[in-house]
Structure 1
Amino acid sequence: MINDFLVALMIGLLGAGHCLGMCSGIASAITFSSTASQSKISTFTALVLYNLGRVSSYSLAGFIFAGSDSALIVFFGGKEALIYLRILVAILMLLLALYISRLWFGLVHLERVGQSIWVFIKPIAQYFLPLKHPALALPLGFLWGWLPCGLVYSTLSWATSSGSAENGALIMLGFGLGTLPAMLAVGSLTQQLKIMLNHHYFRYASGLLLAIFALHTFYVALRQLS
């Protein structure tokens, strides 16, 4: 299971450019919503707590979806149903590779599905802005972690097929931790990181690695069916 954790960590790192595009706005809002009386340490604490809340929401989603799916798979067909789910995961990972490479944006349609839930969560999350205390960044991050995101959904589909709630939570934890370095970057470093992560060479290399992982997952699933 540690190998899945490391792969999920890699996916988070490779998808960091997308994370900066999706979540840097709220991170900047946290940074600049601090009052003049608050120290830089308090501002950074708020940023850390926000990201801990966000990663916690990913882990919880992995736990819930993987746990629920395990029960359904046993009910509907056992091991063979799990193999078909992994084939679907391989396809989503391949689409994610194209998405990160910016060669095809089909996963945007998947993000739109999540909007039906996000419309109820967003008003609650916005209640915490501007932050009145750094500690409030934790629930803000937990709520903002449910923001519709193709990168998260693709990884969550993989976590769902992991076979148990614990494995699903661990995969999503690894993914969330992989996004932390980019999301904790502030100030001018954020701009430099954006330039590097959005460079076409980095995007193509990241997409290629994810495509290899997708094809390997697909190959293993087909071997299990035979």
Structure 2
Amino acid sequence: MLEISLLSLFLAGLLGGVHCLGMCGGIVTAISLGKSQTAPLWHLLCYNVGRIGSYVCAGALLGGLAQWGLNQAAYQPLQTALFIAANLLLILLGLYLAGLSAAITRIEHLGRPLWRRLQPLTRRYLPVRTARQALLAGAIWGWLPCGLVYTASIAALASGGAGQGALVMLAFGLGTLPNLLLMGLFASKLQQLKQQRPVRLVAGLAVMALGGWHLWLLLTSTG
């Protein structure tokens, strides 16, 4: 079966940290500014559990949908097309992270109608004072329109099954976790770091290399 490896999705989430800090940095910083030292860290963990939980649900839904669709159509051509699309998006994402192209951000417009309905719900849980509020805020924030998430979502769609799709998004979500946890603990330093050109360039080129490598494997296996 053609699929992007779980390790590759984890690395994509990890290397895409400069984008994660921009998309989720505001709410993570707000959660981290609690009065005690232990509560904000626990709240950050709960927020990320909720966020990654939404990714897993989306992955299961997309994988299940693809499984149904692939059963209705020619399996191999459709899965190959999804595989190619996922890796082309990885390359576009790498270009964006490197500061070379913003084309990937155009697909974020697709999720804005849903986000306009969900965003008002976050006001019920902000500012975060309890673990439950952090969990629910994270679950809603997981649906924020994001080119990085959408790239992983196409990979979940290409996985061809609900279980596989959930694992794809779990691997991706765990990759984003270190950056956002560190963001909560060292917000100002990481905000400065992510703006540095060498950091953006290295992260972007690494993500592009993942997409290019998968396409090369596909090309050599069919050649």
- Report the TM-score when normalising by structure 2: 0.91
| Residue of structure 1 equivalent to 2:8 | 7
Give the CA deviation at 1:6: 1.6
| Secondary structure class of the residue paired with 2:100 | coil
Give the CA deviation at 1:161: 0.5
Q: Could you list the per-position Cα deviations for residues 163-185 of structure 1 after superposition, in whole angstroms to 9, with x for gaps in the alignment?
A: 22212111211111111112112
List runs of 5+ in structure 2 lacking aligned partners. Answer: none
Give the CA deviation at 1:74: 2.1
Matched, 1:54 2:51: yes
Q: Could you list the per-position Cα deviations for residues 17-59 of structure 1 after superposition, in whole angstroms to 9, with x for gaps in the alignment?
A: 1111111101122233x4x5xx321221111100111111111
CA separation in 2, counterparts of 1:69 and 1:188? 39
1:29 maps to a residue whose letter is A
Match of 2:191 among 180, 194, 204: 194
1:14 maps to a residue whose letter is L
Describe the shift of the 1:187–1:116 C-alpha distance in structure 2 as closer, same or farther (beyond 3 A). Answer: closer
Matched, 1:87 2:84: yes
Describe the shift of the 1:31–1:205 C-alpha distance in structure 2 as closer, same or farther (beyond 3 A). Answer: closer
Give the CA deviation at 1:96: 0.8
Give the CA deviation at 1:225: 5.5
CA separation in 2, counterparts of 1:80 and 1:201? 39
Task: Count how many residue pairs are aligned between Structure 1 and Structure 2.
Answer: 222
CA separation in 2, counterparts of 1:143 and 1:115? 13
* Contact 1:8 1:155 (C-alpha < 8 Å) held by counterparts: yes
178-187 vs 62-71, which moves further = 178-187
CA separation in 2, counterparts of 1:224 and 1:76? 23
Describe the shift of the 1:127–1:84 C-alpha distance in structure 2 as closer, same or farther (beyond 3 A). Answer: same
1:1-226 superposed matches below 5 A = 4-32=5-33, 34=34, 36=35, 39-186=36-183, 189-223=186-220
- Report the TM-score when normalising by structure 1: 0.89
Give the CA deviation at 1:154: 0.8
Q: Could you list the per-position Cα deviations for residues 94-131 of structure 1 after superposition, in whole angstroms to 9, with x for gaps in the alignment?
A: 11111111100011211111101101111112211122
Describe the shift of the 1:124–1:79 C-alpha distance in structure 2 as closer, same or farther (beyond 3 A). Answer: same
2:87 maps to a residue whose letter is A
Q: Could you list the per-position Cα deviations for residues 58-96 of structure 1 after superposition, in whole angstroms to 9, with x for gaps in the alignment?
A: 111111111111210221211121111111112111111
Give the CA deviation at 1:223: 4.9
CA separation in 2, counterparts of 1:63 and 1:188? 31
* Contact 1:50 1:140 (C-alpha < 8 Å) held by counterparts: yes
* Contact 1:66 1:161 (C-alpha < 8 Å) held by counterparts: yes
Q: CA RMSD in A?
A: 2.2
193-202 vs 159-168, which moves further = 193-202
